[in-house]
Structure 1
Amino acid sequence: MPTSAAPLMVTDWRRVASLAGIVAALAITAHWANPVLVRGFDHPIEQWVIDHRSPALNWLFRRASFIGSSKVVYTLGPLLGLAAWARCRTVGYTIWTVTAARPLVEHTMKLLVDRPRPDISRMVAGNGPSFPCGHVMAAAALWAMVPIVISLYVSSRWIWRASVAMSCALVVIIGASRVYLGVHWPSDVLAGLLIDALLLVAVDRLFNRAHAGSPCRSRRGRVDRALTR
């Protein structure tokens, strides 16, 4: 089982470059041609979501949004890093670095793009620029690392796969919640996911050599060389 973010993401450099190109295209369009992006992509989806709101979904997505909030991420991120550090210092450092770097990347992008938030039927308050979605970036930075930490403690592949499915589902639901609540456009959420994937790849590569020189040991004491493959 992997103790690196790399096996969970697309890390072929041509594909990484493609993801970066998509992010750049979204950012440029959101900054220079926001009405075109809203009319052609965002508004139809946002309106469809608003038309299908219900009390049960209101309850679900409000709670999902809280799970992706800074309060939760800043509490669980350091704890998750500590749990990883006890078994593998490199993974712990990776989690702490991603937790610290994510808000810096997010707020830099928000300042550069400076996209206004949706103003139709907003259910909760939203502060600052809209692009990218900070909640989904925070959620992806935290929950994408959970299966990696689990792999340090559990040898069952079924448990690891279940943790991957749970983490992916949480990130998707948290992203959807921000659109549902009317505080982000769908393209904000998409950009947040892509930017976070690029951040995780960058940090993973940063610690790759250190981890290869001192690989983690699995729960059974076997050397895990996932990063060196």
Structure 2
Amino acid sequence: MNNRKLELSKTLMISIVCAISFGLIAVFVSNTKIKNFDNTMINLIQGLESPQLTTIMKLFTMIGNGFSIAIITFVVMFILYIFLGHRTELVFLVCVVIGSSLLNTLLKLIFKRARPDINRIAEAHGYSFPSGHSMAAFTLYGVIAFLLWKHVPTAVGRVTIIILSSLFITLIGVSRIYLGVHYPSDILGGYLMSACWLTGSIWIYQRYLERSKRIRSTHE
């Protein structure tokens, strides 16, 4: 029980640290103190431009857009409900994904940061900070990794899940910088806020499961 409480405390602590880190980046963005970092990373990533890489980056941006996120979410929901019968996990997945989207919309309206206009390869509308693609990708692939982790018994399988989810999250974020529609600080801010939201949601979800388990045990 003590180990379980320690794990929950670590999860909550990660959420708090990510929230503080996001706040620091938001302050830097508001004071334009992060321009040097943004410009350096933009020059580095866009300096790799080639027709083949542009095709790949557009593919990953497509994977991270709202329609693709919705499709992947419904597929995972179908698997959880039909094949595994995990209704609680299904509700958790839906709440986390929808909550992340609403949170991103709110934050964009608060900060109202204009998008970059240098070497724009793709078109994008709305405000820039934090990146909706990076938040959606981190939330979706992060929660999928969390849910699958519990059902994969082998270390190789779990490592594969972490590598694949990290790869998708990273490439979707990088694609937005490469295509010229986001600053690197938008992506970093999106990752941090999504990590805050996801770990906080996992903390609440695990506390709910622990409480439900205790209630069932008292009635047996």
TM-score (norm 1): 0.81
Structure 2, unpaired ranges of 5+: 1-6, 214-220
Residues 11 and 203 in structure 2, CA contact (< 8 A), matched pair in contact too: no
Distance 1:97 1:178 in 2: 25
Look up the match of 2:39: 43
Code of the aligned partner of 2:58:
R
Partner of 1:75: 71
- For residue 94 of structure 2, the aligned residue among 93, 96, 117 is 96
SS at match of 1:210: helix
Inter-partner Cα distance in structure 1 for 2:212 and 2:85: 12
2:101 equivalent to 1:142: no
In 1, Cα distance between the equivalents of 2:155 and 2:164? 14
Tell me what 1:155 maps to.
153
Measure, in 1, the Cα distance between the counterparts of 2:47 and 2:163.
29
Deviation at 1:156, TM superposition (A): 2.7
Report if the CA contact (8 A) 1:83-1:92 is conserved: no
Counterpart mapping for 1:1-229 below 5 A: 11=11, 13=13, 15-31=14-30, 33-34=31-32, 36-38=33-35, 40-85=36-81, 86-151=84-149, 153-213=151-211
RMSD: 2.1
Q: Provide the secondary structure at the position in 1 that maps to 2:34.
A: helix
| Residue 76 of structure 1, CA deviation | 1.4
- Quick check: 1:90–1:207 contact (8 Å CA) kept in 2? no
Fraction of identical pairs, as percent: 26
Retained in 2: the 8 A contact 1:80–1:149?
Answer: no
5+ long unaligned stretches in structure 1: 1-6, 216-229
1:152 & 1:88 partners in 2: Cα distance? 12
CA distance in 1, matches of 2:142, 2:49: 28
More helix by share: 2
Letter in 2 for 1:205: W
Read off the aligned partner of 2:34 and give its amino acid letter: L
Q: Is the 8 A contact 1:28 1:113 kept in 2?
A: no
Residues 135-173 of structure 1: CA distance to partner in whole angstroms, max 9, x if unpaired?
Answer: 011111111122333345443331222011100111001
Mean Cα deviation higher: 50-59 or 101-110: 50-59
Q: CA deviation at 1:52?
A: 2.1
Deviates most, 171-180 or 91-100: 91-100
**Counterpart contact for 1:90–1:210, Cα < 8 Å:** no
TM-score (norm 2): 0.84
